[in-house]
Amino acid sequence: MVYVENVAVFVLTDDEAEVKRYGVSYARVRATALSPEDSVSLIARVADGIQ
């Protein structure tokens, strides 16, 4: 089952093809995401640049 929401709409589905599609998308996001440590470092560098 997949639940997705944004400002305008939400989607709740248990359609097997849709669940698989969302699973693939989520896996791609996870694969390209920074580690928690790298995220903290990036946020700190951006914040330093703003000040």
In this prediction the pTM is 0.66
- Quick check: 51 pLDDT over 80? no
Region 1-7: what's the mean pLDDT?
Answer: 95
Higher pLDDT, 51 or 27: 27
Q: How far apart are CA 9 and CA 11, in angstroms?
A: 7
Q: How far apart are CA 46 and CA 51, in angstroms?
A: 9
Q: Where are the beta strands (DSSP E) in the chain?
A: 2-5, 10-13
Percentage helix, strand, coil for the chain under 3-state DSSP, each rounded to 5: 65, 15, 20
- The pair of three-digit structure tokens given for residue 41, joined into one six-digit string: 């470092």
Region 2-19: what's the mean pLDDT?
Answer: 95
CA 25 centroid distance within chain: 9
Kindly report, residue by residue over 13-45, the tens digit of the pLDDT: 999 999 999 999 999 999 999 999 999 999 999
Provide the pLDDT for residue 34.
97
